[in-house]
Amino acid sequence: MSRTYLTAPYSERTGVKELGARWDSDERKWFVPDGLALEPFARWLPAAVGRPEPSSNSRALAAASAPQAESLPSTQKGIRLAALMQRVSAAVHSAFSEGVWTRLEVIDVSARGHVYLEVADRDESGRVLAKTRAMIWGAVAQKLLPRFLSDTGMELAPGIKLLVRAKPSMHAEYGFGLVIEEIDPEYTLGDLEARKREIRARLQSEGLWDRNRQLPAPWDFTEVLVIAPEQAAGLGDFQAEAARLQLAGVCRFTYAHSRFQGAGAANEICAAASEGLGSLAARGIVPDAIVIIRGGGAVNDLAWLNEYCLCRFVCEAPAPVFTGIGHQRDSTLVDEVAHTAFDTPSKVIVGIEAGIATRARDARAAFEEICALARIHVQRSRGVIRQHVADVRHGALQLHAAAARGTDSLLAEVRELSRQHIHRATTHSRERIGVVNVESQGVLAKARAEAPLRMHEVAASARAHITAARHGAQTARGALLEVSARAVDGQRSAARHALQETTHAARALLTRATHDADWTHASVLQRCAEAVARSRDAQQRSLQEIAQESMRAVHRAREASAGLMREIIGQGPEKTLRRGFAVVRNSQGDPVTSAEQAASCADIGLQFQDGVVHATLKKDDRQ
């Protein structure tokens, strides 16, 4: 059976294909397969074929009349599905001869020469209201997609909203679909910005917008939490430098991984960050900074980071948040609410290294200042101690002299009191002896005066009483003498006792004065020794504290210097060669550092990162 070929130009190939035409690669023409009506292809039929008359079924469909299957034989009831779909296709093509601007959301994308999409329309709650397939033919995609990427910086991906000029198409075999002819990039950008404005306004109304940016910048970096996609390209660059800092013991990095694109990515990032913060808190650690890095990937993947939950988490983070999303032109809301935003992950680690280096320089300056202050303090302490020692010695000498003067005064006073007591005792004794002598003489005189009278009385009384009188006189005389002797002995004993008491009191006063002088002298010496010991202990403690603090500062400075030296050593010639530089060496292998040295060499070698190239300088070149 001969084929019915069409005269469709190249620009209308999409229309005939949608109606079911097939391409004959040998004839390089489109043709109508058997079983398809020719009416939809009327404007592309050759003049020899002529415009076909509409069939009865076609007229019935156009007139919306009931099918007339009852008049047909039972074996020919109804029409074929292909014929029905062909009529529907023709009706759709007739109703939508031109594309219609349509808003839609991309659900899935598949590019196999042509670009096939699954698109939908949702209400505000996210419920799907309509869903269909769409396609961008390869030739159209080659023009549309690069222009869309250039205008928006985005690629077609799930979740993106588009305003497209689409032409409905009904294919007998593949069903209904939309053929996209044009994409408006301004609508996509406007939708993203509207979404970002809504989140900004909500965070500002809740008082969270500036909360993380208002946190003080980290004074130093010792513990950092990093959230990034696993195996991300930017993460590798970050870890290469971070490992060097961690190996040197300068800063420790804890990593938490999460996907950064696709539905639910923002919630997963928040969960991963919360888990990382929880593990650090369990060890009693609060990170100095939280780093969120992405690095690489399509720009439209940034849209997944413009979520309220993620932005709120960053605003309420307990530590400053540093971001390195990986794009210089496009920023996300996470960059806007973060404490510090960097372009790339590499710049984030460079910023951390710069902060650590600044602290190291500050530590070195502080150490030098501490050493200078310590020297000044030691000198001042030595002067103060010398002054204290001189004051103590002077005070001790003064106390000793005062004690000596006090002792001499007390001794003189004791001697004077002793002389006075002895003088009074001697005077009293003499007075008592005089009194006794006077009384004795009085008694004797009285007795002598009375003796003749008594003798006369005795002679007159009776001779009998002479003996008794004599005996009484003798007795009285003996008693008188005995009384006189006893009185004299008593006075002498009292004088001796008074002298002994006076001597004992003088000796006691002298002993007590000597003891008081010795105790005062010992107390003064002890207080002087205690003051000197306290001063010496305070000086030793001050010197020990200064020495310990100096040793700690020296140790910290030594560690910081070692870290800096390791960093300097790490920036060796190999890294320089990998950045595109070369090392020029002479025939002996020594580096050539100037044109003058190179002019004196006949042969030179150029060392690159992957090998050495030898070259010979011409005479003209050496000039």
DSSP-based three-state secondary structure for 306: coil
pLDDT, one tens digit per residue, over 546-575 is: 778 878 877 887 888 777 777 666 666 777
The reported pLDDT for the residue numbered 509 is: 67
How far apart, in Å, are the Cα atoms of 445 and each of 434, 437, 477?
Answer: 16, 12, 12
Question: Residue 321 burial (CB < 10 Å; 0-12/13-18/19+)?
Answer: buried
Question: Residue 84 burial (CB < 10 Å; 0-12/13-18/19+)?
Answer: middle
The packing angle between helices 185-205 and 138-152, to 10°, is 40
Q: Which candidate, 163, 180, 179, places its Cα nearest to that of 171?
A: 179
Q: Which candidate, 383, 359, 398, 603, places its Cα nearest to that of 521?
A: 398
Asked: is 195-343 a CATH 3.40.50.280 domain? The reply is yes
How far apart, in Å, are the Cα atoms of 511 and each of 399, 425, 464, 503, 525?
Answer: 21, 22, 70, 12, 21
pLDDT, one tens digit per residue, over 291-313 is: 999 865 566 677 788 899 999 99
Backbone angles phi, psi at 614, to 5 degrees: -95, 145
Give residue limits of the domains in the chain: 4-94, 100-183, 195-343, 371-566, 577-622
Q: What residues contact 271, with CB distance under 8 A and at least 6 apart? A: 258
- pLDDT level of residue 47 (50, 70, 90 thresholds): low
Q: From the DSSP assignment, how many helices (H) and strands (E) are in the chain?
A: 14, 16
pLDDT, one tens digit per residue, over 50-78 is: 555 544 444 444 443 334 444 445 556 78
Rounded to whole angstroms, the Cα distance separating 481 from 491 reads 15
- Fold equal for 100-183 and 195-343: no
Q: At which residue do the structure tokens 């415009």 appear?
A: 51
Rounded to whole angstroms, the Cα distance separating 80 from 357 reads 81
Q: Are 226 and 275 in contact (CB under 8 A)?
A: no
What's the CATH architecture for 100-183? Beta Barrel (2.40)
Secondary structure in 3-state letters for 198-224: HHHHHHHHCCCCCCCCCCCCCCCCCEE
The mean-pLDDT minimum among 11-20, 187-196, 568-577 falls in 568-577
The reported pLDDT for the residue numbered 277 is: 95
Q: Tokens at residue 544, please?
A: 């020990």
At position 434, the amino acid (one-letter code) is G
Does the structure show a pLDDT above 60 at 369? Answer: yes
Rounded to whole angstroms, the Cα distance separating 325 from 341 reads 8
Cβ atoms < 10 Å from Cβ of 35 = 11
Backbone angles phi, psi at 425, to 5 degrees: -65, -40
Backbone angles phi, psi at 445, to 5 degrees: -65, -40
pLDDT, one tens digit per residue, over 115-148 is: 999 999 988 777 899 999 999 999 999 999 999 8
